[in-house]
């Protein structure tokens, strides 16, 4: 079993893990043989990466940090309330009259916190290949998972974890006011369209701050998650300590998920290590360096099943994560100097810090 990008999948390959809808319905079973039509369908429903069967690569069972039940419950709550809001916006001539916080939202966040704290594994959402019919639902879920994971790493209290989780879950609620044709536009937005998109932060903030039982700091997450340390963000151009700590966390999770998932306006998604490099390139100017460093500890920088090339020209597959050092997983070595080994062996990169991963093969076409 190995991890590949859907864009390089080939007819005849077999799925090693099932593809599910956001609600948990199985769309393609494990073992399904891919065809051109099925590959096109996977691209069309927003699946970025899949696991395919490979008899030469035997991997241990991969445990998902977030249970299927928690995921389905959270996505369903988002869909129900967000769709109602979108309909209300249209009905009331571009105005939200009110938003009633569902207690189910808090329940969903508590379930996510419980799952993350009970399984101290590196977070990766590439393992759960799911389709989506509106990216906001999946994106809000993913951002919440990454934000809570980072907050746990920072030893936040239970109350703080709940507030960060709610802030992340509702950070894009204002986008229910944004026309779908703009959100799903495949090309670059015009200046006017981008100005419309930017209004979602203020609209979400105004909606949440007048909602009963929503702490002000949760509303600030909707308002400030696009602010940047150097003042180049929006809507207020806040700097440094003017930005709420929760919003700084969600900003990192927001960008990370945005670049690692399929979007209609992007040719291909990034792998986690590439997204992390992007965050580091903006550390101390756009994002808080200490938060980016802590975030690196929480995610699977190199997901299990990913084919990698090492600095000494060996090649293998990521076999197991090292939670203490996510950039240095355990590798099952399959090739040395381009020659396939009859007997593969393991190398723990955390015990060999002079050896690093210098390349990945998820986007390479292979026979």
Q: How far is CA 299 from CA 69, 252, 271, 327, in A?
A: 21, 12, 12, 9
192-203 pLDDT tens trace? 999 999 999 999
> What is the pTM assigned to this prediction?
0.89
Of the candidate ranges 43-47, 170-174, 222-226, 318-322, the one whose mean pLDDT is the lowest: 43-47
Tokens of 201: 């932060």
> Domain 68-298 adopts which CATH fold?
Hypothetical protein af1432 (1.10.3210)
What pLDDT sits at residue 42?
A: 87
What pLDDT sits at residue 211?
A: 83
What pLDDT sits at residue 265?
A: 58
61-91 pLDDT tens trace? 777 788 888 988 998 888 888 888 878 777 7
Q: What is the 3-state secondary structure (H, E, C) of 76-89?
A: HHHHHHHHHHHHHH
Domain residue spans in the chain? 2-52, 68-298, 307-360
Q: Is the pLDDT of residue 94 over 70?
A: no
Interatomic CA distance for residues 76 and 60, integer angstroms: 31
Q: Report the alpha-carbon angle 225-288-272, nearest 5.
A: 80
7-59 pLDDT tens trace? 899 999 999 988 877 767 788 899 999 999 999 888 887 788 899 998 888 88
Interatomic CA distance for residues 106 and 357, integer angstroms: 40
SS3 334: strand
Class of domain 2-52: alpha beta
CB atoms within 10 A of CB 329: 26
């Amino acid at each position: 079993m190995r991890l590949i990008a859907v864009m390089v999948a080939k007819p005849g390959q077999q799925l090693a893990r099932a593809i599910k809808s956001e609600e948990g319905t199985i769309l393609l079973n494990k073992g399904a043989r891919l065809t051109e039509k099925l590959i096109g369908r996977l691209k069309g429903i927003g699946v970025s990466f899949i696991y395919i069967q490979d008899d030469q690569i035997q991997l241990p069972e991969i445990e998902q940090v977030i249970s299927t039940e928690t995921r389905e419950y959270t996505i369903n709550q988002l869909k129900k309330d967000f769709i109602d809001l979108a309909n209300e916006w249209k009905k009331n001539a571009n105005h939200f009259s009110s938003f009633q916080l569902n207690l189910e939202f808090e329940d969903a966040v508590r379930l996510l916190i419980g799952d993350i704290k009970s399984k101290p594994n590196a977070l990766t959402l590439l393992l759960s290949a799911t389709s989506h019919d509106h990216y906001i639902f999946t994106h809000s879920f993913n951002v919440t998972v990454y934000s809570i994971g980072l907050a746990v790493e920072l030893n936040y209290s239970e109350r703080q974890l709940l507030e960060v989780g709610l802030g992340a879950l509702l950070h894009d609620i204002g986008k229910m006011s944004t026309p779908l044709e703009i959100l799903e536009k495949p090309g670059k937005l015009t200046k006017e369209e981008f100005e419309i998109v930017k209004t979602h932060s203020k609209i979400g903030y105004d909606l949440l701050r007048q909602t009963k039982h929503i702490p002000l700091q949760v509303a600030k997450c909707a308002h400030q998650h696009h602010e940047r340390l150097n003042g180049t963000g929006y809507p207020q151009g806040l700097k440094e300590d003017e930005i709420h700590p929760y919003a700084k966390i969600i900003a990192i999770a927001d960008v990370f998920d945005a670049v690692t998932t399929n979007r209609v306006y992007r040719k291909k998604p990034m792998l986690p290590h590439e997204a992390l490099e992007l965050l580091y390139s903006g550390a101390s100017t756009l994002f808080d360096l200490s938060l980016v460093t802590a975030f690196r500890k929480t995610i699977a920088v190199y997901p299990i099943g990913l084919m990698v090339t090492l600095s000494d020209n060996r090649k293998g597959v990521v076999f197991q994560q090292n939670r203490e050092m996510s950039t240095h997983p355990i590798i099952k070595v399959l090739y040395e100097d381009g020659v396939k080994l009859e007997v593969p062996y393991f190398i723990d990169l955390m015990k060999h810090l002079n050896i690093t991963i210098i390349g990945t093969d998820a986007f390479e076409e292979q026979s």
